[in-house]
Structure 1
C-alpha cells in the first residue's frame, strides 16, 4: 500500500483535563510525542492533525504535521470519530491525496513509539484482517468484576470465577487507545465497529499503554517520561 495516513484527532477541549493535548509532559506538549513518533514511521506517507484549536494547529505545524481545521460542530464532547475522519478525508481528497490505509493515533498515548506503529502496520499488511487495534493485558480481570443492582453486588459475567486465582483465569485484554488501523472502506461499511469483522490485536506493555485521561494519568506519565529519558541518557555515558 502506497498511501498510509497517520491521523491524529486532537480537540482543543477536554472534560477530564482542560487543554489536555497541550499540557506539558517533560518539557513538551503532550501532542508532540505522537507527532514526533508518527513522523519517524517508515510506513506513514502523511501525518495529519485534525483540530479545532489554534494553539494545537500552530504546534502541530511547528512539529511537522499537516493541519486540517476541524469545524466546531465536529469538535463536541459527543462527536464520534467517524465523521471527523470523513471530514479529513474529504479535505485531503481536494489535494489529490487518497489513503489506502488509515492509522489512527490518539495524542493521549505518549509512550507509543514509531516501532509500535510500524509493527502494527506490518501486522495488518501481512494478515487477512479488517482491523488491527492495540491492546494491553487488563489490569483487573472482568471475571472479578461486579455490577450493583438494588444495593447488592452481581457478577458482571455469567460465569463467576471470582474465587479463582488470577493465574488460573483466562488472559483478558483491553483497548489501550494507542493504534487503530483499517482501510477507508471500513469507515463507511462498519461505522468503525472494530469488532464487526476480523480484528487482530497488536499487543503492548502496560507501561507503553498509558492513556492520558485524568490528572493522575498525567502525573504518572511525567514521572515515567523522566525515568525513560534518564535511563536513555545513562546508556550514552
Structure 2
C-alpha cells in the first residue's frame, strides 16, 4: 500500500510486435526484456500486486517465472494493432472489481522502458503525494529543441523553415520535455473519469535521458544494451 491506498501495477505485453518480433521476450543482458520491468515493480514495497496483461501464452509463462501475476489472458479484441492501452487498463480494473477487489491507485509500467529504476517508481509515487496530484506521468528533456523543427514546403522547400534570429543564443532557449513512456500513475477514479492519465491534476516526473529509452526499434534495443553495459561497468544498474 501507498499511504493507505492499494496500488495495482500493470505491465501490458501483447504477443504481436511489428518493429521487433518477440520484443517483450528478447534477451537484454541475459534476461527477457519484460523481466526488467517486473523486477523493478516487485522491488517497490508500496505496490500490492504486479500483473502482466498479455494475449500470449509464452509471455504469460515467462511473466509467471519472473514472479508477476497473470490472472487472465487478454481478450483478442484488446490484442489487436488498434487496441488502446487505456482499454487494457480498464479491462484489468473491471476484472478485479467484478471479483470484489478494488485498487485506489493504478500504475502502468511498459516493458519497453527497461532502464527505469525502482527509485523512479517510488519518486513518482512521492510526487503524486507531494503535489496532491491525481496523476503523474514521466517525462525527460527533449534531445533536440522543437524550435529547430518545422514542416517542409512543396518539393522540400525550406522558406521560413526556422526563425534563426530567435535561435541565435542556444543557452537562452527554454527546456522542452517529452513523454518517455516509463511511468504512468493515477488515482483510479480519476483515471476512470478521464479515460486516461491527463488532466488538470496531472504532474510530470522528470527522468534523465539515459533512463528514458523506449524500445520501439532495433536501434533502440541496441542503445539500451549499450547504456545497460556502460552503467554496469561502474555499478549495479538496479
SS at structure 2 position matched to 1:171? coil
8 Å contact kept, 1:8–1:106? yes
Aligned partners of 1:160, 1:81: CA distance in 2, in Å? 40
Q: CA deviation at 1:92?
A: 1.7
Structure 2 residue 54 is the aligned partner of structure 1 residue 51:
yes
Aligned partners of 1:156, 1:79: CA distance in 2, in Å? 36
Partner in structure 2 of residue 133 of structure 1: 137
Q: CA deviation at 1:56?
A: 0.8
Partner in structure 1 of residue 202 of structure 2: 199
The normalised TM-score by structure 1 is 0.91
Aligned partners of 2:129, 2:43: CA distance in 1, in Å? 19
SS at structure 2 position matched to 1:218? helix
8 Å contact kept, 2:152–2:161? no
- Structure 1 residues not aligned, in runs of 5+: none
Partner in structure 2 of residue 123 of structure 1: 127
CA deviations 1:155-182 (Å, max 9, x no partner) are 789x776633332100000010000111
Partner in structure 2 of residue 100 of structure 1: 104
Number of positions where the alignment pairs a residue of Structure 1 with one of Structure 2: 231
Partner in structure 1 of residue 224 of structure 2: 221
Partner in structure 1 of residue 12 of structure 2: 9
SS at structure 2 position matched to 1:69? coil
8 Å contact kept, 1:143–1:160? no
The normalised TM-score by structure 2 is 0.90
CA deviations 1:73-101 (Å, max 9, x no partner) are 10112111111111111222244321101
Normalized per residue, the structure richer in strand is 1
- Structure 2 residues not aligned, in runs of 5+: none
Q: RMSD across aligned C-alpha pairs, in angstroms? A: 1.9
Q: CA deviation at 1:11?
A: 0.9
Aligned partners of 1:46, 1:156: CA distance in 2, in Å? 50
Q: Per the alignment, do residues 12 and 148 of structure 1 end up closer, same or farther by CA in structure 2, a change over 3 Å counting?
A: same
Aligned partners of 1:156, 1:15: CA distance in 2, in Å? 33
